[in-house]
């Protein structure tokens, strides 16, 4: 069995031989959160969307089918995730509907006012200085563009022993405050209780949350 620190490092940035395995586990474990985020996002036909930290992009097909003429950009700082997501989504890339880049969300390689919607699932825990990332997200959003944060509640994440290794966990209230301090108008948050699963003989039930925020100007 892999040790907890190693699992935490792989979740932060999948790398090497274990990257495909951890991506498969994330796809399974984070499906309830993607279901919540994709159903909570206010999308319009023709929107240009950015996902930060997309993992292996298993959900791109579903996301691109939610409205007509969506264009999706993705950025992830794991080379392995960019490679896997690229290999699995060539049809969308070749048709000019999906653009993937390797890079970090504190230095986004996009022009100001590019996106109608930016979102990320299970990524904010790894931001040492959230303001550096939120500043960039704010910059690349169009006026009145929406930013959706997908996460699990701090209480439920603390049930997972690997989160003691380098995860910055937030309550919903704490994350809303961080968003507000960085100039966002915080809107609704959407909640869903995930199905139970067993980890090392213990029953665990995570609470998924999607927090909606808007660029003010």
Could you tell me the smallest distance in angstroms from the CB atom of residue 10 to ligand SAM? 9
Query: Which CB sits closer to ligand SAM, 42 or 168?
Result: 168
For the beta sheet containing 48-52, the strands, ordered from the edge strand earlier in sequence to the opposite edge, are: 98-102, 71-76, 48-52, 115-121, 141-152, 207-215, 184-193
DSSP assignment of 160-177 equals SGGGGTT-----HHHHHH
Q: How far is the CB of 196 from ligand SAM (least distance, A)?
A: 19
End-to-end, the C-alpha distance of the chain in Å comes to: 50
Give the residues across from 83 on adjacent strands: none
Cβ at position 59, least distance to ligand SAM in Å: 8
Smaller CB separation from ligand SAM, 104 or 153: 104
Decide whether 52 or 100 has the Cβ nearer to ligand SAM.
Answer: 52
Q: Which is nearer to ligand SAM, 185 or 191 (CB)?
A: 191
What distance in Å separates the CA atoms of residue 149 and residue 84, rounded to the nearest whole number? 23
Binding site residues, ligand SAM, CB under 6 A: 11, 13-14, 26, 30, 52-55, 75-78, 81, 104-105, 121-123, 126
Shortest separation between residue 80's beta carbon and ligand SAM, angstroms: 8
Helix, strand or coil for residue 203? Answer: strand
């Amino acid at each position: 069995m892999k040790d907890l620190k190693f699992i935490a490092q792989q979740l932060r940035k999948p790398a090497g031989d274990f990257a495909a395995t951890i991506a498969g586990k994330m796809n399974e474990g984070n499906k309830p959160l993607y279901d919540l985020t994709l159903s909570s996002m206010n999308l319009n036909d023709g929107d240009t969307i950015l996902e930060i930290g997309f993992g292996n992009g298993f959900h791109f097909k579903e996301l691109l089918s939610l409205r007509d003429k969506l264009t999706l950009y993705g950025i992830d700082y794991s080379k392995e995730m960019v490679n896997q997501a690229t290999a699995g989504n060539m049809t969308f890339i070749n048709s000019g509907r999906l653009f993937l880049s390797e890079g970090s969300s504190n230095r986004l390689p996009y022009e100001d006012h590019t996106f109608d919607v930016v979102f990320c699932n299970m990524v904010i825990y790894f931001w040492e200085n959230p303001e550096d990332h939120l500043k960039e997200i704010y910059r690349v959003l169009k006026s009145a563009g929406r930013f959706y944060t997908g996460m699990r509640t701090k209480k439920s994440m603390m049930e997972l022993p690997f989160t003691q290794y380098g995860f910055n966990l937030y309550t919903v209230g704490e994350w809303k405050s961080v968003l507000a301090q960085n100039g966002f108008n915080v809107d609704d948050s959407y909640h869903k209780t995930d199905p139970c699963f067993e980890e090392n003989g213990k029953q665990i039930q995570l609470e998924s949350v999607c927090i909606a925020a808007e660029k003010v100007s």
